Structure 1
Amino acid sequence: MKQVSIQHRIKMKKLADLIIKNPDLPVITMTDNDDTISGITGGVSYIAGCLPEVSIDYIYSRTSKDLLLGNGEYRPYVKSFDEHVGLEILRERVSYRDNTLDAEYLKKEATKIWNNLAWRKVILVYSGQLENADDVYKERGVVR
């Protein structure tokens, strides 16, 4: 169990270092949300998480007149996580406007739109989902 505690300390130090070196950046947290835990389809569950990844990333919140609007996600896009999905949505939207465009042009146009979105630089803390409440204690090194 000491290994878990050491890994946790290393990741917490990385987070602290990023905050100290970038005091002007907001800290944004993300945690997996598995609604099957709540037992209610479509319900919301609040889940504790361990700290596997800390990095500087970019987020983008959609607006009402956005080409990315309406993809079913209620969270902001995270540049490193969502690029593949975002580019696919943008290619579909650009091709819907003009279905005579070739695939290479669609890819270039979608990439240009994606890169020119109003991305906001943040410190991203991504917490993976813990399987059950006992994992909180395992993460802290309290139990085996």
Structure 2
Amino acid sequence: MKKLAKLITENPDLKVVTVTERKDDEYSSYAAGDVRDAYIDYMYIRTVGADDILFEHREDRPYFKSIDRDEALEQLNDRISYRENTLDEAYLKQQAERAWDGLAWEKVILVYAVRLEESKL
């Protein structure tokens, strides 16, 4: 909690966003939890109705650079390969990273928490 308080004090202009791991290992901003870590991260929220190459958006949740990068780059790679009909791995990797880095990222304070039933309060 001291780390979280320090981050908030030092970055009063940043939003504080909480993610809590659910039983199916997905992340949700709607579950209550016991704080385990807090750090500066970047969040991306898809604009409703926008053509988004990133995900099919199976879930209505934001994406975080530190949490979602590997899966996102893999999916971007597949989508770019399909769209551009190429298997050139170096080109696909470069384009996937370019698309990922080019998203409208917002700097936030990310609070990671475990489910209360797993917490030893």
Q: TM above 0.5, one fold? A: yes
**2:55–2:72 CA contact under 8 A, matched in 1:** no
SS of 1:53 mapped into structure 2: strand
CA contact (8 A) 2:43 2:105 kept: yes
RMSD of equivalent CA atoms: 1.9
CA gap of 1:47–1:73, structure 2 versus 1, over 3 A, is: closer
Secondary structure at 2:19 match in 1: strand
Following TM superposition, by how much is the alpha carbon of 1:56 offset from its aligned partner in structure 2, in angstroms? 0.3
Q: Which residue of 1 aligns with 2:46?
A: 62
1:83-94 → structure 2 map (5 Å cutoff): 83-94=69-80
For structure 1, the 5+ residue unaligned runs are: 1-11, 36-43, 140-144
In the alignment, which of 46, 59, 67 is matched to residue 81 of structure 1?
67
TM-score, length basis structure 2:
0.85
**Which residue of 2 is the match for residue 3 of structure 1?**
none
- The correspondence of residues 52-131 of structure 1 with structure 2, limited to 5 A, is 52-63=36-47, 64-131=50-117
Alpha-carbon distance in 2 for matches of 1:110, 1:81: 16
Identity of aligned residues (%): 53
- In the alignment, structure 1 residue 30 sits paired with structure 2 residue 19: yes
Give the deviation of 1:100 after TM superposition: 2.3
What secondary structure sits across from 2:58 in the alignment?
A: coil
CA contact (8 A) 1:62 1:69 kept: no
Could you tell me which runs of 5 or more consecutive residues in structure 2 were left unpaired when the two chains were aligned. Answer: none
Deviation at 1:48, TM superposition (A): 3.0
The structure carrying a bigger strand percent of its residues is: 2
- Kept after mapping to 2: 8 A contact 1:47/1:130: no
SS in 2 for 1:52: strand
Q: TM-score, normalised by structure 1?
A: 0.72
Please identify the structure whose Cα radius of gyration is greater: 1
Contact 1:18 1:123 in 2 (8 A): yes
* Structure 1 position 113, deviation (Å): 0.8
- Report how far residue 71 of structure 1 moved: 4.1
SS of aligned partner of 1:62? coil
* Contact in 1 for aligned 2:77/2:96 (Cα 8 Å): yes
